[in-house]
Amino acid sequence: MLHVVGVGICEGHITERAAKIIGAAEIVFGSKKAIELASKYISGEVVEMKKFCGEVYREIEKISSKKNVVVLSTGDPMVAGLGSKIDGVVESGISSVQLALAKLREDLCNCVVVDAHSRDASGDFDLIEKRNLLILADRNFDPKVFGSRKVAIIENICGKERFKICLAEEAEVKSDYAIVYVWK
């Protein structure tokens, strides 16, 4: 059995359903951060994932044919997470996207979500002509490409949070865990 379980972003985001699934697992895989968030619910063996690639995912799938395995995914597994990469049953979690929208009081249906975390997303930027953009960003992302539009920068939600609303040309991303919201 293989579950890919969302553990949320902040302490306390794990649902009762997720806690039950995590507690029943014989082996729990996850990043350091995901394991920390789920630690009080884990009773099986813990394996910290250091590499995130197809080879590792296939190996985990193989192990799950004999054991009850959980792979933890920070936030929600279906938001730039492991849910589309590992062949398991997905248990939803609370995403950084939801937390940012709540902070901004913006509805998800009013924007397009773009993944610019460790990837070049410049091909999607012209969507701003039609829709607001919610960008999953790291420190390599430069908001200045959006010129005089209004942006919100939200970094390290739940940690040493930084929240700023300003013009894109005055904005910068300082953390690898940032949401940039751009109004069209």
Contact positions vs ligand SAH (CB under 6 A):
9, 73-76, 79-81, 95-97, 117, 136-138, 154-158, 177-179
- Judged by beta carbon, residue 1 or residue 163, the one nearer ligand SAH is 163
DSSP code, position 8: B
DSSP state of 85: T
Report the residue number whose CB is nearest to ligand SAH: 75
Backbone angles phi, psi at 79, to 5 degrees: -115, 95
What minimum distance in Å lies between the beta carbon of 101 and ligand SAH? 11
Which lies closer to ligand SAH via its Cβ, residue 181 or residue 183?
181
Residue 4, beta-bridge partner list: 71, 90
* Separation of alpha carbons 141 and 136, rounded Å: 9
- Residue 81 beta carbon to ligand SAH: minimum distance, rounded to whole angstroms: 4
Closest residue by Cα to residue 152 from 140, 134, 139, 138: 134
Which C-beta is closer to ligand SAH: that of 33 or that of 45?
33
